[in-house]
Structure 1
């Protein structure tokens, strides 16, 4: 079996573990973050591959979809659920910003390594910093949605929760 398939198996197992871990803490928040992240990655992921910016040569369900099911629809949303469940909303803005930068940087670094050393992803008209920006923005959008979703009936005076 090629190394790419082992990576896909390991990433799927890790994403499953992350979902179980986050669901134990706050299942509703984890589910909302997971599902809303899937909406974002579904739309944006399809655009990126259809405009030949990124290619996924080795992927699950290759006859159905040109995007990476494992990353776009499972692993990335699972990490986003973890991000939101453990978000430090009671900490300073600097800590919250560091939380965003940390998650975004780790995911981008992993993607760059996978792009460089495997056939799971190929950048065509794409760069690592575009990934960093889009990952950061997608985390931010999901965070805004989750705060709105769970505080829509309350008068939330703290805007720090959005960061």
Structure 2
């Protein structure tokens, strides 16, 4: 195996994501599973659309004939969405919820900008950082709405 920086990053994301999923408290596991699967569904479809349209590419990836990033779409991002969903401060003020929901896409977007600038993990073509931020923000919002609906939570009330 060729141990490039890109391969190390991919392995690290899988490792940290798996550990993050394994340490989820038992009381949150059902909500975590729903959030994880829902986010995989969304990002897999959107990732295929983005790559097939040539807006971005993943030069270093896990599978030769799958041009999307399994690391991001199947493991990393869904694992992050799990934590957003299980620790979302639904009972807090609008300002706290706003900051919470903005912090996730901001952190992911900043990381992606660094990866795009300094590695071959991702390359933008007609894509830009603000599309990443917007798509992540929207999909995380959808994840919160779906999870609330799935568990029939009332607004502002969380388990």
Q: If the length of structure 1 is used for normalisation, what is the TM-score?
A: 0.91
Aligned partner of 1:112 in structure 2 is 113
Q: If the length of structure 2 is used for normalisation, what is the TM-score?
A: 0.93
Aligned partner of 1:131 in structure 2 is 132
- What are the residue-to-residue correspondences of 1:1-163 with 2, within 5 Å? 1-22=3-24, 24-63=26-65, 65-151=66-152, 156=154, 158=155, 160=156
Any stretches of 5+ residues in structure 1 without a counterpart? Answer: none
Deviant stretches of 4+, over 3 Å: none
Whole-angstrom CA distance in 2 between matches of 1:72 and 1:23: 23
Whole-angstrom CA distance in 1 between matches of 2:108 and 2:12: 15
The 8 Å contact of residues 29 and 84 in structure 1, kept in 2 or not, is answered as: yes
Any stretches of 5+ residues in structure 2 without a counterpart? Answer: none
The number of aligned residues is 155
Whole-angstrom CA distance in 2 between matches of 1:25 and 1:123: 40
The 8 Å contact of residues 33 and 81 in structure 1, kept in 2 or not, is answered as: yes
Provide Cα deviations, 1:64-96, integer angstroms capped at 9, x if missing partner.
Answer: x10000001110000001110111111111101
Shift of 1:24: 3.5
Shift of 1:108: 0.4
Alpha-carbon spacing, 1:92–1:69, altered in 2? closer, same or farther (3 Å) = same
Whole-angstrom CA distance in 2 between matches of 1:85 and 1:33: 9
